[in-house]
Amino acid sequence: MVDVHGRSVRLRDPDEDWLLMLCGRAADDGGDSVLIDGYALVEALRTAGEPELREVHDFLVGTDVDYFGTWVNPARGVPGTPLVRRLVEYTRAGRRVVRASDYAAPVPREPEWDRHLELIERYADALATAMEVAPRFRLDAGDLFVLDNYRFLHGRDGYRGERTLHVLTVRSTEAA
């Protein structure tokens, strides 16, 4: 968020490929950061013994979704029209992008809507399982964390008290 003439404005690009996160204040309790190697997760789905997981992989790399489709009250800067993209794809410059969205939905008027929704939910289940076992680390005040946002899926655990994290997003020439 940037203060523009006394009002906060979201200036994030949906294709930012690097994040710099500076911890201004750590939470009193909890708030550990968590990372999932998206490239490794996609490869695990591709080579899984269970056909249901391989099917999720094929969906991720071969099917468009509405990235913000279920977001009822989107934040300023989030497009009001569908943002149609694949959850795993390559940029024109050749970088692989692995995405996760709590709001992904089948594209509007998709003839196989129910099937696509089922596959999105299976991907969400795979992400939840990966999140349970993923490494966690604490950012303390003054710590700066640089993240490849195309490779790593990231989040944080719940926390008590106040926590301040300043995020600078970068869109490199490889994001095009």
**Token digits of residue 51:** 């056909």
- Alpha carbon 160 to its chain centroid, in Å, reads 23
Pairing of strands 29-30, 18-25: unpaired
Beta bridge partners of 8: 3
pLDDT in tens, 39-94: 999 999 999 999 999 999 999 999 999 998 887 776 676 667 788 999 999 999 99
What is the pTM (predicted TM-score) of this model?
A: 0.86
CATH of residue 145's domain is 3.60.130.10
Q: Which residues are paired to 33 by β-bridges?
A: 137, 156
**pLDDT tens digits, 122-138:** 999 999 999 999 999 99
Provide the domain count of the chain.
Answer: 1
Domain that holds residue 152: 2-175
Least confident of 2-6, 17-21, 33-37, 100-104: 2-6
Residue-averaged pLDDT of the chain: 91
